[in-house]
Structures are given as structure tokens and as C-alpha cells.
Amino acid sequence: MVVGDLKGPEMYNGFDGKCLVYLTPAMQESLPYLSLKFIKWNHFSRKNIGYIFAMHHGASVIYDTDDDNMLKRPDLLQAWTGAKGRVPASFMLSGSGTGLINPYPMFLNESLHYVYPRGFPLDSVKDMTTRVEHPRSSNMDGDEEKQECSKVAIVQSLTDVDPDVDAISRLAVPNVPFNFTEAHPPKALILNKLAFSPWNAQATLFFKEAFSLLLLPSSVHGRVSDIWRSYFALHVMLDSPDMCMAFSTPWVYQQRNAHTYLADFNSEIPLYQRATELVRHLAVPKRGRLLDLYADMYEYGIIEEDDVRLAEAWEQDLADVAKVVSKRQRHDGSS
């Protein structure tokens, strides 16, 4: 499904509606979701409407992607969805240790070891302890306990051709863009409970257990929103023993839309300034709902008050949608 915005087309031609839903702005305004009130127009967080709409209509898996990311290995995406939250048996598996993790070096050759994902704390870019070593062959039954996780709830595909790096890298690093190293078997990096690494909204798979963590903040720039979401989600999962997240060998490549790197740099300034302290703050387990976390992030100056209202409305929408889906399932079961 595609979530339109004010600058988008009124209609989405070329599809018959059976395999694609295009939510026009007018359609969005007619939806019953409380969170609509707190989601800005012309903002990346319009995706939130698509997420809740998908849940409302019975989605069991949500694949979050951008309009400029193309499938190159649908078999890898299908392997993850088919595994239903377990690492596919054909993958080579690596653990992450604890603390801050830069996942990119594990998927690269030696000459590219200092690249890092957008949102990675800048003062740790050269810290060799953030690198992941010693991948091993995967036997999921044997590896689950070692990873302190019974299920992978979120899977981030890395991106070939034009990977997700920050504007500093695009302005200053000569080997950007680049491709990740082709791996046979493909690789998966599992973050354990005390590991933090930013992930994005370019090509990310969410299983049902993690649907509540899909919420994108609306009070920050779009180039910040999905990164803050990733750190928030990892914090929430600290107290969820049955959930962890994974990075996967690329199943997409990016044909990047036109960007102005200096404009991207200015948009990303909160990431450069706040990522280090935010990770330190979030690395401490603190029980509570997503709404409690958003209130804490407002007090901490990471988001604005409207996002606290958005989180409150989001939780209510999730509850309302769950009732509708449950009622529909009961009806279908009896009919």
C-alpha cells in the first residue's frame, strides 16, 4: 500500500486495486484514527497512517520501504517472512555482544570498515569495539538462547548501490556510494538485548509482535524520525524477552531520489548532536508503555509535545484496531 501526501498524485495509475491500496489525502482524512490529528502533512511520518491501516485490515507482517528502494533479492525477503521471526536456516549468523554496534563492517570488505549507518554516534565511528567479528554458521534452535532472544521481531535489510549513510559520509567519504560484500551463505546480525544500533525505514520487516513500535515521530525532520524510532524500539525491547532485531544481507538496492547533501546535513544535525547521549539514556531498562517513553523523550528534549499526544492517540488506535480484527476473526471462524 502507498500513503499519498499533498504533493503526490490524486490517483495511482497502473494497478487494479486488488494488490495495491493507494491512500489519497482525501481518503486519509476520512479514516477513523485518532492519530491522524497529530501527523503532519508533507512529512515522512504520514507512513504511520499506512501502518495502522494495514493492521486494521489484518496484516500479520508489515514490510516498510521507501519509493526509491527496489527489490533485488526477493528470495531473501521471502526467506525471512517464511521463517516467521526465526533466522532462516540458510543464513550465517553472528552475535553482537553488548553496547553500541556498527553493523556495516560485518557485511563489507576491509577497505570500507569506517562506513556507518545514518544515526550512528559520530564520536564512536573509529571505535573498533563497535565492530562485529566472528560470524558463525547458523542453527536457530541452538543460537536462540545465546542471542537472549526467542524471536526476531524486526529485520532491517541493508541496501546496495546507495546505502543509508549520513550526509557527512556523502560529502566527505570517497567510497560512498558502495555495495555490500556478496555473502554465500547470506549473513544475519542479531542484536542482543544490550546492543544498540540505528536502523531505518528503507527496507525493514516488522512481525506482529513489533507492530506497536512502528510509530514514527512527527515533530522532527524525516531524516531524524526513523532513526529516533529505531532507538526507541530497541529501548522498549530491552524489557521484551521474546523480541530482538536483526540486520540482513541486502535484499534491496536504492535508486536514490535527488538530494542536496548540505540540506540533508542540516536536517540531520539532531542526530550528530544527540545520538551519543540518547543511546546512553535509552540503554538503561525502564519498564513502561511506549507512551511513557515518549513522555520521557519529550522531557529529555528529543521530541516535541505533539508527539506525546501522537503516541497517546496511537495506543488508542492500536487498541481499537485490535478489537475490530479480533471481532472479524471470531466472525470468520463461526461462519
Taking only the tens place, the pLDDT of each residue in 164-202 is: 999 999 999 888 889 998 888 999 999 988 899 999 999
For the segment 88-116, the average pLDDT, to the nearest whole number, is 85
What the block records as the C-alpha cell of 85 is 521471526
pTM here?
0.93
pLDDT digits (tens, 9 = 90+) for 317-334: 999 999 999 998 887 876
> In this predicted structure, which of 174-183, 229-238, 261-270 has the lowest mean pLDDT?
174-183
Burial classification of residue 16, based on how many CB atoms lie within 10 Å of its CB (0-12 exposed, 13-18 middle, 19 or more buried): exposed
Contact 34, 313 (CB under 8 A): yes
Q: Please report which residue ranges of 118-209 form alpha helices under DSSP H.
A: 140-143, 167-172
Q: What is the pLDDT of residue 257?
A: 87
Name residues whose C-beta falls within 8 Å of residue 269's C-beta, 6 or more positions apart in sequence.
none
What the block records as the C-alpha cell of 197 is 544500533
